[in-house]
Amino acid sequence: MGLVYNSTRNASETVQASEAILKGLANEGGLFVPSEIPALDRSFSELAQMSYQEIAYEVMKLYLTDFTEEELKHCIRSAYDSKFDTESIASLVKKKDAYFLELFHGATIAFKDMALSILPYLMTTSAKKNHVRNEIVILTATSGDTGKAALAGFADVPGTRIIVFYPKHGVSPIQERQMVTQRGENTYVIGIEGNFDDAQTGVKKMFQDPVLAEEMNAAGYQFSSANSINIGRLVPQVVYYVYSYAALLARGEIREGEEINVVVPTGNFGNILAAYYAKLMGTPIAKLICASNENKVLFDFFSTGCYDRNREFILTSSPSMDILISSNLERLIYQTAGRDADKNKELMRSLNETGRYTVTDEMRRQMDAFYGNYASEQETAQAIKAMYEAEGYIMDTHTAVADSVYRKYKEETKDGRKTVIASTASPYKFTRSVMNAIDPSYDNRSDFELIDELNKLSGVKIPQAIEDIRSAPVLHDTVCETEDMCKEVKRILSIG
Ligand SMILES: *Cc1c(COP(=O)(O)O)cnc(C)c1O
């Protein structure tokens, strides 16, 4: 069977893929990582002939080693279907000197759909394989996009409930509306009086509480996670980096083996980690360009080797990247520490206790492929306007952060490699910020007027996800303090 999953914090905890998906988080707060990064067993000239779904199978079969071919193909078929508004699932469009990998063609118009449309199928398949009788309670912290994508994926899935916590004052109006109008008997949405890091910390605490786990179990429940700490999120994200290389090759934009760069607008470090895995699997990627907004903790980390979250949390126009504790970085730390769980655990303890840690020079050397930079609010707005004026193409704020950082990288290094920019959300999800960037006088219009204006300017059809919320009733209005998150969960499940 070969590949299994290890915890980044305990060398003796080893599980199969399906168990890792079910558990979400390892014991002691560790993350599950594959015991080795598998190499692609198809050449890119073969992959270039394949559909998105076929490539998904070729990549995911290497990680989900205890799934049968039939099980995995069923999950892929069920996930990547007409829920996406393009047959290719992800579009790759050339604008200026870069290829934008549009990952927002799914049901909730952000890249989270790429993984969260398949996660419910991976989860229910895993539950069946492991003879789980408990109802699975998906507990999720969101900076805006994960919440809606997870709600859409798990709504009315038998044997599951989903509870989403979001920062009440830290998401875009459209993001909030998308979540609070969610239908489904098994869905719960709660705003917290805190930021994303507070939500994520509160959720992680519940995962690690053995007393709560016991109470849950007695009542017939167990937790799992839809956050990018779940390996069932990470693995499907590797697929589109392999796919984008295959697509460039199929179109004759690159020669087989020619190296490309990838730019990823980054928050929790899940998406760019998937690109790193794609590189380690054999995709010819030279640089992984990590783009941050003004919460530039990762830029500082790649520049100095010191990760330091002791700073002001800034609310920006790219809220899904407003994060100071990038959870998935732990997987890179573990990898570059020579897969040493004790060493990693020590650094994470330091992060927990002092808010910072410093990696060794040897570890930094192993992170050579990463380049970090950031874009200010003003630079982000300028990028949107400049692209609109040059190409008539309208980027969302997150993609604009990536575009802006790409220009800085190119200026600094003169690197002329072909470059893929992960385009993580539809501009319709951040309409106000996007329209203000193009012309500040739009600011006095209502959100729905701006949507119609964006449609006029871009000529891009208004997505169904936006049409759906125009008149949908608000079904969730609970707000709580950060310290009451656990109380809310117990109330929902009627325990304790
Ligand atoms: C979640 C998200 C990001 C950040 O992705 P990570 O995997 O957390 O680094 C960037 N852009 C958008 C639109 C997102 O929803």
The pLDDT tens digits along the chain (496 residues) read 589 999 999 999 999 999 999 999 998 889 999 999 999 999 999 999 999 999 999 999 999 999 999 999 999 999 999 999 999 999 999 999 999 999 999 999 999 999 999 999 999 999 999 999 999 999 999 988 999 999 999 999 999 999 999 999 999 889 999 999 999 999 999 999 999 999 999 998 999 899 999 999 999 999 999 988 999 999 999 999 999 999 999 999 999 999 999 999 999 999 999 999 999 999 999 999 999 999 999 999 999 999 999 999 999 999 999 999 999 999 999 999 999 999 999 999 999 999 999 999 999 999 999 999 999 999 999 999 999 999 999 999 999 999 999 999 999 999 999 999 999 999 999 999 999 999 999 988 998 899 999 999 999 999 999 999 988 999 999 999 999 999 999 999 999 7
Q: Tell me which residue has tokens 């002001």.
A: 312
* CB neighbour list of residue 54: distance below 8 Å, 6 or more residues apart: none
Beta strands (DSSP E) in 241-366 are: 260-265, 285-292, 306-308, 356-358
For residues 394 and 457, give the distance between their C-alpha atoms in angstroms, rounded to a whole number.
9
The whole-number pLDDT of residue 215 equals 96
Tokens (6 digits) for 258? 């020619």
Which residue's CA is the closest to the ligand 1 atom numbered 1? 320
Rg of the chain over CA atoms, in angstroms?
A: 21
- Taking the centre of ligand 1 as the mean of its atom positions, its distance from the CA of residue 233, in whole angstroms, is 12
For residues 234 and 238, give the distance between their C-alpha atoms in angstroms, rounded to a whole number.
7
For residues 139 and 406, give the distance between their C-alpha atoms in angstroms, rounded to a whole number.
35
The whole-number pLDDT of residue 19 equals 97
Q: Which atom of ligand 1 is nearest to the CA of 144?
A: 15
- Taking the centre of ligand 1 as the mean of its atom positions, its distance from the CA of residue 112, in whole angstroms, is 7
Global pTM reads 0.95
Residue 26 and residue 330 in contact, taking contact as beta carbons nearer than 8 Å: no
For residues 382 and 425, give the distance between their C-alpha atoms in angstroms, rounded to a whole number.
18
Tokens (6 digits) for 406? 């790409």
- Taking the centre of ligand 1 as the mean of its atom positions, its distance from the CA of residue 457, in whole angstroms, is 25
State how far Cα 25 lies from the chain centre. Answer: 16
For residues 407 and 395, give the distance between their C-alpha atoms in angstroms, rounded to a whole number.
15
For residues 388 and 352, give the distance between their C-alpha atoms in angstroms, rounded to a whole number.
42
What architecture is domain 91-109+236-463? 3-Layer(aba) Sandwich (3.40)
* CB neighbour list of residue 477: distance below 8 Å, 6 or more residues apart: 180
- Taking the centre of ligand 1 as the mean of its atom positions, its distance from the CA of residue 268, in whole angstroms, is 7
Tokens (6 digits) for 332? 């890179």
* CB neighbour list of residue 349: distance below 8 Å, 6 or more residues apart: none
Amino acid occupying residue 346 = E
Name all residues whose Cβ lies below 6 A of ligand 1: 110-112, 145, 228, 265-271, 320-321, 398, 424-425
Of 331, 361, 357, 360, nearest in space to 346 by CA: 357
* CB neighbour list of residue 263: distance below 8 Å, 6 or more residues apart: 98, 289, 291, 402, 403, 405, 406, 409, 419, 420, 421, 422
Q: Which of 398, 426, 428, 433 to mutate to test the pocket of ligand 1 (most atoms within 8 A of CB)?
A: 398
For residues 245 and 240, give the distance between their C-alpha atoms in angstroms, rounded to a whole number.
9
- Active-site residue identified among 61, 83, 94, 112: 112
List, as one string, the DSSP characters of 35-95: SSPPPPSS-HHHHTTS-HHHHHHHHHTTT-TTS-HHHHHHHHHHHSSTTSSSTTSSEEEEE
The whole-number pLDDT of residue 113 equals 96
Residue 160 and residue 132 in contact, taking contact as beta carbons nearer than 8 Å: no
For residues 37 and 350, give the distance between their C-alpha atoms in angstroms, rounded to a whole number.
27
Of 299, 447, 480, nearest in space to 375 by CA: 299
Instruction: Please report, to the nearest 10 degrees, the dihedral formed by the alpha carbons of residues 302, 359, 286, 408 taken in order.
Output: 10
Catalytic-residue membership of 410: no
Integer distance in angstroms from the first to the last C-alpha of the chain? 41
Residue 86 and residue 97 in contact, taking contact as beta carbons nearer than 8 Å: no
128 CB neighbour count, 10 Å cutoff: 12
Overall residue count recorded for the chain in this entry: 496
